[in-house]
Chain A
């Protein structure tokens, strides 16, 4: 069935639309969105299997031939990312039942969440540059609503900044697409790649490549463009934070990966060199923030920035091994960041504060929460049997192999600081004297389901590296050989 690859976009869309009609009925809202998320996960699993066994799946929407219509393309990378997105969405829906509060649930929370998933899955699957812009906007519009829903003062204030930054970056995206269109005269990604290789990447294409880096760097929070992220991610409630931290910035990184490996691979000296410098600076900036703060939200937020830097460094080295490492790390990071944001969400729910100096001794009363957090922290830092290890190993090894000693060294060092920053939360928050907190009746038992699910998945992902690796290396193979992608789309 060739329409399979549209299902991860279509199911959340239909779920979201049908949820609009049941605004007041919370039970129906929860049931339908949970069922919709489950169907999305199932469809993504089938899609990954199909793409892995039968090669890249393409769908020319309404049967217009490839460069003229919109083509949806699902290679192994995008199928894997769609699967991770769907799993995280499912976990977030489940987590929201006990954390978001009935008032927000009644105000279109679940439909907007589904629309966010439409945007993210669409951005991962599309094969058309302007369609990518549209899916970005679908995603961003939903994220504006999720960020401001509830309307507390801090949310209103931070939404203004977040929207302003994203309006500017969207305008830049439109401008960049306009420039690219005037040079190559097409919007289909595979066709753009063919045209660029025909004209052999003159200077103007390099300028456009840097413009794309700026656009996607703002979305993905790369070094000089990450200033908006700490404030904006501080404002919303825990499940929304988990969705944002796991998905939104990763779409930017995926777009950098896609455009840089598919379009701009002819004259790599300048663009990939720039990306490398920015990636290393991103890691350093993230480390400084993660070490500096005594606020658990801020610590995890700056860890998002560090991970973006590590993935971008792997992309900039641009060997097959480093790209495999980046993909490995990307998926690991999506899962583990969602779990960590959920876990600190529970901590905040119990203690009523995110100030680490006011939290201690949680381990005595909440051992399940404590040990889940401990495993998640070790996985984040990349301790060998867990999921963060193989990706970082591949990135560091290929960095050393291609002579980028400074960059690879900093990636290696960053693990130490990441471990320090999350262990700071564990040691100060879970050990020490037991304190009495007002919100003891928080439904911790139920809230723990989703993070435990995600952490188990992360542990299995780390232990089953051998089983996962064929998928990853196949995804990296498509990235290093753009011909595979082009031939799949423009069947000639």
Chain B
């Protein structure tokens, strides 16, 4: 099972890298989304995917590892916050700079 997950995560990372190397700002943000999905799935996988009950004390033992789930929950909300900020920033940058092409975001002073 971990092998399949490793392939799936690898494909996510590959797509994320490809998207983040493109020119359009929105594609880059989609890439960061895929990257964080990959990272979160990786935590889950590396924590172990052995069969067990959900980590609720009302269920019967054995349980799955609860720690990676807590880590993922933390990482998810953090990447939520950053992504929301990034999206608004991209929107503002589109309004102010009039472009979403990263090739045109250069130089020392303001672009038009």
The answer to whether A and B come from one shared complex is yes
A residues with a Cβ closer than 8 A to B are 130, 133-134, 137, 141, 144-145, 148, 151-154, 156-157, 159-161, 163-164, 167-168, 170-171, 174-175, 177-179, 181-182, 187, 234
Mostly helix, strand, loop or mixed at chain B's interface? Answer: helix
Residues A154 and B110 in contact, CB atoms below 8 Å apart: yes
Residue in A closest to B36 when the chains form the complex, CB atoms: A171
Contact A156 B75 (CB under 8 A): no
Convert B79-98 into 0s and 1s, putting 1 for each residue whose CB lies closer than 8 angstroms to a CB of A. 10110011001101100110
Partner of B108, one of A144, A175, A182, A234: A234
Q: Provide the bound-state CA to CA distance between A83 and B35, in Å.
A: 36
* Residue in B68, B81, B93, B109 whose Cβ sees the most chain A Cβ within 10 Å: B93
- Whole-angstrom distance between the alpha carbons of A177 and B47 in the complex? 11
Distance of A140 from chain B, by nearest CB (Å): 8
Contact status A160-B109, CB under 8 Å: no
Pull 6 A–B residue pairs with CB atoms less than 8 Å apart, ordered by A.
A151-B96, A154-B108, A156-B96, A167-B35, A167-B82, A171-B79
**CB closest residue in chain A, given B71:** A130
Label chain A's interface by main secondary structure. Answer: helix
Partner among B67, B82, B97 whose Cβ is within 8 Å of the Cβ of A157: B97
A163 to B32 Cα, complex, angstroms? 10
Option from A130, A160, A161, A178 in Cβ contact (under 8 Å) with B90: A160
Contacts of A160 in B (CB 8 A): 25, 86, 89-90, 93, 102, 105
CA distance A4 to B6 in the complex (A): 44
Chain B, residues 52-89, CB within 8 Å of chain A (1/0): the string is 00000000000000011001001100110110011001
Alpha-carbon separation in the docked complex, A187 to B90 (Å): 35
Contact with A along B98-112 (1 / 0, CB 8 A): 000010010011110
Asked if B43 CB lies within 8 Å of chain A CBs, one says yes
Please tell me if the beta carbons of B85 and A154 are within 8 angstroms of each other in the complex.
no
By a CB distance below 8 angstroms, the chain A residues around B48 are: 182
Residues of B within 8 A of A157 (CB): 93, 97, 105, 110-111
B8 at the interface (CB under 8 A from A): no
In the complex, are the beta carbons of B78 and A134 less than 8 A apart? yes
Interface positions of B from 21 to 44, Cβ below 8 Å from A: 25, 28, 32, 35-36, 38-40, 42-43
Q: Does B11 contact A (CB under 8 A)?
A: no
A229 to chain B, nearest CB (A): 15
Contact A153 B97 (CB under 8 A): yes
Asked if B89 and A163 make an inter-chain contact with CB atoms under 8 angstroms apart, the answer reads yes
A18 vs B47: C-alpha distance when bound (angstroms): 39
Are A134 and B39 within 8 A (Cβ)?
A: no
Contact of A164 among B28, B42, B79, B110 (CB under 8 A): B28
- How close is B55's CB to chain A, nearest CB, in angstroms? 15
Asked if residues A174 and B20 are in contact (CB atoms below 8 Å), the reply is no
B93 to nearest A CB, angstroms?
4
B35 touching A182 by the CB < 8 A rule? Answer: no
Contact A182 B82 (CB under 8 A): no
Q: Which of A137, A164, A178 contacts B78 (CB 8 A)?
A: A137
Contact partner of B39 (CB less than 8 A), chosen from A141, A156, A175, is: A175
A137 to B96, CA, bound (A): 27
CA–CA, A134 to B76, complex, Å?
Answer: 12
Q: Which 9 pairs from chain A and chain B are nearest by CB?
A: A153-B110, A182-B46, A178-B46, A178-B43, A174-B39, A156-B93, A171-B39, A157-B105, A171-B35
**Which one of A141, A159, A179 contacts B46 once the chains associate, using CB atoms below 8 Å?**
A179
Contact residues in A for B20 (Cβ distance below 8 Å): 164, 168
Complex Cα spacing A130 to B73, Å: 12
Write the chain A residue with the least CB distance to B70: A130
Asked whether A153 lies within 8 Å of B71 as measured between CB atoms, the reply is no
**Separation of A274 and B94 alpha carbons in the complex (Å):** 41
CB-CB under 8 A from B89, the residues of chain A are 144, 148, 156, 159-160, 163
CB of A174 within 8 A of CB of B93, answer: no
Contacting pair B96 A181 (CB below 8 A): no
| B46 pairs with A156, CB closer than 8 A | no
Most chain B beta carbons < 10 A, residue from A141, A157, A161 = A157
A168 touches B108 (CB 8 A): no
Q: Which residues of A contact B71 (CB under 8 A)?
A: 130, 177, 181
A175-B42, A182-B47 are contacts. A134–B93 as well, Cβ < 8 Å?
A: no
| Nearest CB on B from A151, distance (A) | 7
On whether A174 and B97 interact (CB within 8 A), knowing A156-B92, A167-B82, A182-B47, the answer reads no
CA–CA, A315 and B71, complex, Å: 30
Contact flags (1/0) for B1-30 with A, using CB distance below 8 Å? 000000000000000000010000100100
Min C-beta distance of A111 to chain B, whole Å: 16
A175 surroundings in chain B (CB, below 8 A): 39, 42
A197 to B90, CA, bound (A): 46
Distance of A151 Cα from B96 Cα, bound (Å): 9
Q: Given A159-B89, A170-B79, A179-B46, 17 more contacts at CB 8 Å?
A: A130-B74, A144-B89, A153-B96, A153-B110, A154-B108, A156-B92, A164-B86, A171-B36, A171-B38, A171-B39, A174-B40, A175-B42, A177-B71, A178-B43, A181-B43, A181-B71, A182-B46
